[in-house]
Chains A and B, each alone.
Chain A
Amino acid sequence: MLKIALYELKKFVRDRRWFLLFLTQPIIVVIFLGLVTWQEPKDIRVSLFNVDSNKYSEEIVQNLEDEERINFSSESSEKEALEGVKNDKFRSAVIVDIAEEENLIKGKIRIVENSTVPDLSGRVKMLVVDAVEGSLAGFAGQNVKVQAEGNLQKQIETIIHDPEQLKLVTKNHTSISIEEDSIRIAEEKNTTKSLKYFDYFLSALMVLLMIINAINLSTISITSERSEGTFERFFVTPYRKSQMIFGKFIAFSFVAIILSVLVISTLKIFFEVSLGPIWLVGIIMFITAETAIALGILISAVTHSLQESIQVGVIVFYLTLILTPFLFQSETIHPYIKNISLIVPFTYSIRAMREVNLLNMEFFDVWPNLLILIGFLVLFILLAINFLRRKAE
């Protein structure tokens, strides 16, 4: 078995052009993704218009104008602010319409989105919430009695989902009152890390790179032997199916280690990214790659031709991309298939990687994810051994 692994490895290394491409590809991807997410999105332009100028609304507007994470720009009219979104001058518009009437502050803040940038609105909403929070703290300092509809935290969540619901009142007429001088609103994150724009992509990218390369490596490993005829010769010998599977698996594992080291080194050398403990990140990457290799070998064992293997590999990759939290959130999935991401192994890779890189979690926090991955790995290997057709047909 080790001999199979050794020679499998030699076959790769001796195809120098391919091997060089294979190793440089993740480095290039990491560098380019790092560069395209190099800056915080502070140059994104968002128009701002204050409908009713009063000290409260002005303070919210001022907070937004002082915001450094996005470029808020006050316009002279609501029409201009909205037109700017239509003609792509601005990516979004924030219309602050808060009035002060008889010791009562109420109104709404409209966020008009440019629908072509779906993920931006969330960011704008977050900054609006920040601005309002900052203002509330200021109002409290002026001894203004502030009351929120419902629990304040809940309201902030409401703002995020429906900014039109925002109301600030100074009359004591709702269920929860907040005492004078006691308003403290703090944005709390479940991490102590100061995260940069790139960090949000980083964990998924690391998992993605491992999956693409591992599947690329292993998906045609058996079908290519079938098409070259070596498979037939191999199985006229007393070699067992498990020896072939494990031999290839061990060889690819060495390549996976090299890949993990390359990706981590590139990230460390070129970018100041938020990584968890290197040894733990390395273990997650390695187990992810191993699981992907096992899946690739299974695909190669059950498919009949090179083209079929590649096609199934591509389908598996796309399904992984769609069903794990790479691009979409589980909340948007159709209820009938909501739990399908739970049977996609790489869901657990992304979870573990994000927890370690972004949330300061340690091995004892993420081990269940790793155990599930190892479970999938063992399952794929056993299925590959079982379904590999020794006989030609």
Chain B
Amino acid sequence: MNNTVIKTSGLTKIFGTKKVVSGISFEVLKNTIFGILGPNGSGKTTTLRMLATILSPTSGSIEIEGLDYINNAQEIRQNIGYVPQKDALYLNLSVWENVDFFFSAYKYDGNRNERISETLKMVDLLGSKAKLVKNLSGGMAKRLSIACAIVHKPQILFFDEATMGLDPVAREKIWQLTFELKKTATIITTTHYMDEAQTLCDQLIILREGKIIIEGSPEQIIARHRAKNLQEVLANI
């Protein structure tokens, strides 16, 4: 049985004359957490945004659940969720209204209100459902951002630096939530934090100047480089 959810081949993105992503190919397996790592400007966010249908690749191909990205973008969008780097929420709408707003874009057969309640409970925001987003803390806003991305039960989730700027407690909460979500979805995440990548990811790629320089599971990579952790691997390359 083919367990591949995402398959890219020769994926390239050029902005003007600058090649930001340079012919990368990788596969992501179902119900795994896949990390895209690298220093600033390495092309990780651009790669994630191409996978999330926000950017068009200059060349190369992307297949998501067997569907060609170019011709089936709308169908693919039905099955993906995206947590952007900035929270990207409507500040003057309440927690509930934000989730409801994004949820209304999707087809859903069950009871919508029940699903929103269930999602908010999952991210521990049901008690704050009437609060306006502008009154939320950073950690709460991030959890709401995740709620907006998962409310329609997507098969694939894209997290762009989901824990950036959060305190350790808030980060821990997001990690727990990510593990919970992994049971039903495949998660592709970018991060700067090596401890996070080591804890969360089943597979990862490390990019530099738009090219994959390292790939594998965190354990394999650490062993291959005879390092103590991913941080050390990255420091030595």
Instruction: Tell me if A11 and B90 are in contact (CB < 8 A).
Output: yes
Q: Which of B86, B92, B104 contacts A10 (CB 8 A)?
A: B92
Cβ–Cβ contact A393 & B55, under 8 A: yes
**Distance to closest chain A CB from B79 (angstroms):** 10
Interface residues contributed by chain A, number (CB under 8 Å): 21
Chain B residues lying within 8 Å of A11, measured Cβ to Cβ, are: 90, 92-93
Q: Is the CB of B100 within 8 A of A3?
A: yes
Q: Which of B35-79 contact A (CB under 8 A)?
A: 49, 52-56, 74, 77-78
Complex alpha-carbon distance, A232 and B106, angstroms: 16
Per-residue CB proximity of A229-240 to B under 8 Å, as 1/0? 110111111110
Q: Which residues of A contact B15 (CB under 8 A)?
A: 393
Indicate if the CB atoms of B88 and A3 lie closer than 8 Å.
Answer: no
Smallest Cβ-Cβ distance to B78: which chain A residue: A238
Q: Are B106 and A391 in contact (CB under 8 A)?
A: no
Contacting pair B87 A238 (CB below 8 A)? no
For A391, what are the chain B residues with a Cβ–Cβ distance below 8 Å? 54-56
Shortest distance in angstroms between A247's beta carbon and chain B's nearest beta carbon?
10
Q: How far is the CB of B226 from chain A (nearest CB, A)?
A: 40
A393 to B15, CA, bound (A): 8
Given contacts A235-B54, A393-B55, contact A229 B97 (CB under 8 A): no
B84 and A7: CB pair below 8 A? Answer: no
* Complex contact B90–A230 (CB within 8 A): yes
Which residues 1-44 in A have Cβ within 8 Å of B in the complex?
Answer: 3-4, 7, 10-11, 14-15
Which residues of chain B are within 8 angstroms of A239 by Cβ–Cβ distance?
Answer: 105
Which of A3, A7, A230, A391 has most chain B Cβ within 10 Å? A230
Find B86's partner among A3, A229, A235 (CB 8 Å cutoff): A229
Chain B residues bordering chain A, tally (CB within 8 A): 32
Q: How many A-B residue pairs have CB under 8 A?
A: 68
Tell me how far the C-beta of B222 lies from the nearest C-beta in chain A, rounded to whole angstroms.
33
- Give per-residue flags for A36-55: 1 if the beta carbon is below 8 A from chain B beta carbons, else 0: 00000000000000000000
Contact B74–A238 (Cβ < 8 Å): yes
| Most chain B CB atoms below 10 A, which of A234, A237, A392, A393 | A237
Is A232 a contact of B97 with CB atoms below 8 Å? no
User: Once the chains are docked, how many angstroms separate the CA of A236 from the CA of B54?
Assistant: 6
Contact A14 B92 (CB under 8 A): yes
In the bound complex, do residue A14 and residue B56 qualify as a contact, i.e. CB atoms below 8 Å apart? Answer: no
B85 / chain A contacts, CB cutoff of 8 Å: 229
Q: Closest approach, in angstroms, between the C-beta of B135 and any C-beta of chain A?
A: 12
Most buried by B among A10, A238, A239: A238
| Cross-chain pairs A/B with CB under 8 angstroms, 27 sampled | A3-B101, A7-B90, A7-B97, A10-B93, A10-B97, A11-B90, A11-B93, A14-B93, A14-B132, A15-B92, A228-B88, A229-B85, A229-B87, A229-B88, A230-B88, A232-B82, A232-B88, A233-B148, A234-B105, A236-B77, A237-B77, A237-B105, A238-B74, A238-B105, A391-B55, A391-B56, A392-B55
Residues of B participating in the A interface, judged by any CB pair closer than 8 Å: 15, 49, 52-56, 74, 77-78, 80-82, 84-90, 92-93, 97, 100-102, 104-106, 132, 148, 158
